[in-house]
Structure 1
Amino acid sequence: MRTGVTIDLRARRDAGLADQLRPLVEAYLGRPTVEVRFWDGSRLGPRGGPGALVLRSPEAIRRMAWAPGELGAGRAFVAGDLDVDGDIFAVVAALRPAGQRLRTTLRTVPAAVQAARRLGLLDRPPPPPPEEARPRGLRHSRRRDATAVSHHYDVGNDFYRLVLGPSLTYSCARFVDDATTLEAAQDAKHELVCRKLGLHERPGARLLDVGCGWGSMAIHAARHHDARVVAITISEQQAQLARARVRDAGLDDRVEVRLQDYRELHGEAFDAISSIGMFEHVGAARMSTYLGTLWSLLRPEGRLLNHAISSVGGSRLAGRSFAHRYVFPDGELIDVGDVVLGMEAAGFEVRDVESLREHYGTTLRAWVANLQQRWDEAVALVGEGRARVWLLYMVASAIGFEDGGLAVHQVLGVRGGEHGSSGMPRTRDGWVA
C-alpha cells in the first residue's frame, strides 16, 4: 500500500472508506443496486441481497480509476482486487446496465477525481494482469488469427475438459428438456447438425468440419452416420487431443484431423460443411472470403451449416473491452441478417435459420457450475488469474444470452445443383431424431 493512501486512511478512519469513495462508485455504477463492501469493512448500497461486490484493496479503485469501464473492473477482478461474495450471476446482472451506460472518464466527474486524489489513486496505474493479450499485426491476417486463437484455446486441454465436461464441446448445446444433462445436450446438438446437413440420409458422405475443436462433431458424424470427415483447426493443442480422441474411438479410417486454416483449403470437394463456433473469429471484413471458400468446396446440392453467436447490428469487440483483452482477441459478432445476405452473395440458397439463444444460457451455467465445483483443480491447472477470466466471461455471457443482448443462430445454406435442384427434404420432420 502506498504511503499516501495509508496516511489518508489513518486521518479519516472515522469516516470510513464508503463515504470517501461514494463519488467514485457512483461515477462507475450510478447509485449501487447491490451491496458494495470495502477493505476497511464499510459498505454502500442495499444489504441482504443475494450477493455483494467486494473491493479487497486500494488497487481495485486504482485500476478502475485509470481504466474506467469494463476493462478496469475486469483487470481488478482478474487480479483478485475485486471480488464477488455470494451469487455472482445476480451481482453481474445487477451491474451490467451500469457497465453498458458508462461512457465517461473521471475527468468529467470532479467529485470522483477529488476522491481519487485524496486517496493517492491518480499516480502510476498498476500493470495489467499477465493474462491480458494485445495481438499485433494486421487484424484477421493468418498470423494474427493464429495468435488470437492460441491465446484462447491453448490454455490447456485438461482445463477445457474440466470446464466443458466429457463431451469436450465448446459451443451451445441443445437441451430438449429440463432433465437433459450437458453431455446429452451436446450430443443432441451434434445430431441436429448432422440431420440438417442430411448426413443421416447419405452414409459415407464427405464432411468438412471447420474449427473442429477437440473433434466431438467429427467423431459423432463418423460414428453415427458413417461420414468421412476432414476436421480442421489452427490450435495445436486442440489438434493433438482431437487426433487422440479419434484414435481412441477407433475412427482413424474415417476422420482426418488437420492443423490448417480454412484459407488453405483448395481443390477438394465435400458433400457437407459444418462450422460450429468458429465464425466469431472470421470478422466481417473476411466474411465474403470465408463463405466464398466454403461454397467453392461443396459439391452441387452440398450444404453448409454455420452455427455462430450473433448480435443485432453486429459488434466488433472494442480494443479496451474485457472480452478483447482477456478472452477473444479480435472477436466479432455478425448480425444474422448480414450472415444470410453474405451467404446469398457467395452463391448459397439459405434454407433455414434457427435461434438457440436460451440454450446457450443454460450451457454456460453448466460450464460455470463445473468450474466452481472444481475451482481448486482449475487454479492448479491454469492459475487463479486465468480461472477468474473464465468465470467472469462465462457468467457475463450467460446473462447476455438470457436477457437477449446476445444470440446464437444456425444458418443452413445449400449450393444449388443442376436446374436449381437443392436436394433438400420437403419438411423439417427428419431433423430431430
Structure 2
Amino acid sequence: MTSVVFVHGTGVRAKSYEKSLARVVSGLGRVRADIRVVRCFWGEEHGASLGLDGASIPVRSKNRGAGGDEVLDEDDPLAVWALLEVDPLAELREFAEAAKARRGGGGRAGFAPGRPDPWQAVADTARGLSLAAVSDGGGSLDELVADLAPHLGPAGGRVAREISRTLGGTPPADGIEAIAARAVYALAVQRAEGPHGDEEPLAVDGADRDTVVGALTDQLGGAGRGGFMAGAAKGVAVRALNSYLSPLSSLAHTFRGGITEGAVPASGDILRYQVRGAGVRAAIRAAVRDAVASGDGPVVLLAHSLGGIACVDLLAEPDPPAGVELLVTVGSQAPFLYELDALTALRRGEPLPGAFPRWINVHDEQDLLGFVGEKVFPGRITDLRVNTRQPFPRAHTSYFAHRRLYELLAPELPA
C-alpha cells in the first residue's frame, strides 16, 4: 500500500492540521482507495510564537490613511470576493446608496398603509435561509456546508437587518438577491473562522462557494442571475471597492497589534524556518521513516507551502531519507527560493541530486505564494495547474478542498 506523508505549511496548528488532514484523507480516498495517509505535524513544536507577548509591536496613536488609484473590474468575480473578504456588507451598502441616488437622494418613498414592503419580504427570507438541501454526497461541498451551517442563521439575520435599515420603504430594484446571498455567505465564512468559530482559514473551492451562493440566491428569489452582476447591481462592487481603498490603510494601522499577532503563525513560521529549520526537516524525516517501517509500499511526500520548501531541502541533503518515490508540492515557494539562492541544502546553479525523487508541483495562478518549477529544474519537475476560483489569499489555503487536485494526482501516485 502506498503511503502519502502529509506535510503542512506555514501557520498551521493542531486544529487546522486535523481539518486539512481529514480533507486529504477524504479527497485521496475518493480517487485511490489503496492510499494510506500518514501524519506529519510539525507546527506545534517547531512553529513560531511571540515569546514576549508582542512587546516588539509599536502602538500607533494616530491613523493616517493613504489613498489609491486602483479600480475594480465590475465583471471580475475574484475582485468582488476579495472585497467581501474584507467587508461582507460592502456590496450591500453600495446597492442601498445606488437605490437612494436613483430616487434623487430624498427620504424614504414610503408605501400606502397596508401595502407590503417588498424589502421586508427579502429580509424575512434572508432570516430563514438554509443549506439543508445542498449536498454532493460526502465531498468537499458537504464539508463546506457543515462548516457554515451553524453560522448561517446569524449571518442571514445580520443581512436582513441591513436590508431593512437601508432599503425599507424604498421602491424595489433589481439585483438584490445575488448581492444579499454573497453577503450572507461572506458573513457566515467570517463567523466560521472566528471569533465565533475555529479561527482558522476555511479551505473552500470556488465551485463549492458558487454552489452555496447559488442555492442562497435561489431561496431569495433568484432574480438577476444572468451574470455575476446584473441590472441595478451593475457597478455596485466597483464603487464599494474604491470607497474602501483609503480607509483600509488606516484600519490596518489601527489594528496592527491584532493583525500582527494573528499573522505570527503564518509569517513567523517562515522566518523561524530560515534559521531553525532543522527541527522541521527532522520531523519530516521521522514521519518518512515511520511510513517506510510500517508500510509495505512506496512513500509519497505531499507538502503544502513551507512544508514543500522543507521537503525539497530535506531531499536535497547529502543523506536524504530512503523510500520516497514521489514529492508533491502544493502552493510552494521552493522554485522561487532556489532562484533567490535561499534554499538551505541547494545553492542556485546546482542541479537537483541524482537521487532526488520525481517531483510534481501544483499551483493556482491566483495564489501569489505558489510558483512554477519546470523552467527552474528542466526535466526534473512537472508543474500542474489547478483553478480553485478563489482570490488570494484564500487561493493559497483552498487546494485541498479542490476536487480536481485529487483527480490530477490519482494517476501520478505510485501503486
Structure with the largest fraction of strand: 1
Pairwise same-fold verdict (TM > 0.5)? no
TM-score, normalization: structure 1?
0.32
Q: Which has the higher contact order (CA 8 A, sep 6+)?
A: 2
